[in-house]
């Protein structure tokens, strides 16, 4: 004869609560056994005045040398240095190369440091053939010249840039209607400061800064980029940092020095990266003083 064992009666709500508690305790126990624990949340950083970006070390050295009380902050694959520069709270960001890196590094910088302005700077190739080595282009706008749509062509008809038309980036600002950006505008106040900063090695000109994950050395391709997108220079990061900044409504400026010109001087001048960073250090001294708000 089998005798039934009666379970203690628990109301439905108590039984559900007991299940939840036992589940949580089980997870905690398992984590304790294998030594794992949830990582602590990073404390919010105080807002800064300016984030200055460069893709590689050669575009950062004068900035890092001028950064007082420098503190290195590593966030996954991206490196930031925080300190004081020209009386302002500044973060120097090594974005690494290309659109993906630039977009992520910019988003991390905005979320963590909440800057009043982002300056993306570094080297660029000339798209405007009149630009000379070490001329500096101040970005009235940044454009992704790799964003296009081609019309249909049958097999054997080849690749023809005449069939390509620009595509806009679309950002749903504030979660509402999508806004089209064929270009991302530079901040007018920052543009004015940059244009007033002397460049001891060349001109300072206003222009459209082009970006794509490309390194173009074909003259016909460069001519097409200038004709269709109006770009004066080409790099791999500016427009993508600008797009992330636009999504967060953070003022943005791109500043690029010409390191090579396929039309007249095709050899890449590596020292140009240091020259641009030195120009930006001088430029930062001309901006208004440090922020005094205590928002967290």
Q: Per-residue pLDDT tens for 76-135? A: 999 999 999 999 999 999 999 999 999 999 999 999 999 999 999 999 999 999 999 999
Per-residue pLDDT at 45 exceeds 90:
no
Do residues 54 and 253 touch, judged by C-beta distance below 8 A?
no
In this predicted structure, the answer to whether residue 293 has a pLDDT above a threshold of 60 is no
Locate 108 and state its tokens.
Answer: 């991390």
Distance CA(124)–CA(67), nearest Å, equals 24
pLDDT of residue 166: 87
Instruction: Compute the distance between CA of residue 221 and CA of residue 19 in angstroms, rounded to an integer.
Output: 65
Paired strand residues for 194: none
Which of the four pLDDT bands, split at 50, 70 and 90, describes residue 208? very high
Q: How confident is the model at residue 288 (pLDDT cuts 50, 70, 90)?
A: confident
- Cβ-in-10-Å burial (0-12, 13-18, 19+) of 291 comes to middle
**For the chain, percent of residues with pLDDT exceeding 90:** 76
23-51: average pLDDT: 58
b/e string for 129-148 if b means 16 or more Cβ within 10 A? eebebbbbbbbbbbbbbbbe
The pLDDT value given to residue 18: 44
Confidence of residue 42 (pLDDT cuts 50, 70, 90): low
What is the average pLDDT across 43-71? 93
What structural domains does the chain harbor?
A: 52-148+164-284 (3.40.50.1580)
Among the listed residues 38, 31, 49, the one whose alpha carbon sits nearest the alpha carbon of residue 293: 49
Q: Give the Cα separation of 6 and 17 in Å (integer).
A: 20
Exposure string for 181-217, b = 16+ CB within 10 A, e = fewer? bebbbbbeebbebbeebebebbebbebbbbbbeeebe
The residue ranking higher by pLDDT, 12 or 196, is: 196
Residue 70 scores a pLDDT above 70: yes
Both tokens of 230, joined, read: 């109006």
Measured CA to CA, the distance from residue 107 to residue 252 in angstroms comes to: 13
Task: Give me Rg for the CA atoms of the chain.
Answer: 26
Q: How many CB atoms lie within 10 A of CB 114?
A: 18
The mean-pLDDT minimum among 26-40, 81-95, 158-172, 182-196 falls in 26-40
């Amino acid at each position: 004869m089998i005798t039934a064992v009666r379970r203690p009666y628990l109301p439905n709500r108590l039984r559900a609560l007991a299940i939840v508690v036992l589940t949580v305790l089980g997870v905690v126990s398992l984590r304790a056994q294998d030594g794992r624990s949830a990582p602590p949340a990073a404390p919010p950083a105080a807002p800064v005045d300016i984030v200055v970006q460069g893709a590689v070390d050669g575009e950062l050295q004068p900035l890092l040398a001028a950064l007082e009380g420098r503190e290195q902050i590593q966030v996954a694959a991206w490196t930031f240095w925080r300190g004081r520069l020209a009386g302002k709270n500044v973060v120097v960001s090594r974005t690494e190369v290309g659109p993906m890196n630039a977009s992520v590094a910019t988003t991390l910088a905005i979320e963590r440091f909440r800057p009043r302005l982002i300056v993306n700077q570094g080297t660029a190739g000339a798209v405007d053939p009149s630009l000379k080595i070490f001329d500096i282009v101040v970005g009235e706008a940044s454009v992704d010249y790799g964003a296009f749509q081609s019309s249909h062509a049958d097999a054997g008809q080849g690749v023809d840039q005449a069939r390509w038309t620009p595509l806009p980036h679309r950002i749903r600002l504030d979660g509402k209607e999508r806004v089209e950006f064929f270009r991302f505008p530079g901040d007018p106040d920052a543009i004015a400061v940059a244009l007033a900063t002397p460049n001891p090695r060349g001109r300072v000109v206003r222009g459209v800064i082009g970006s794509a994950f490309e390194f173009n050395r074909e003259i016909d391709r460069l001519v097409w980029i200038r004709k269709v997108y109006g770009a004066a220079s080409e790099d791999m990061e500016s427009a993508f940092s600008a797009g992330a900044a636009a999504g967060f409504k953070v003022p943005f400026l791109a500043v690029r020095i010409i390191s090579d010109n396929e039309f007249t001087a095709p050899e890449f001048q590596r020292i140009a990266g240091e020259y641009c960073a030195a120009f930006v250090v001088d430029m930062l001294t001309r901006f208004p003083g440090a922020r005094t708000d205590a928002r967290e």
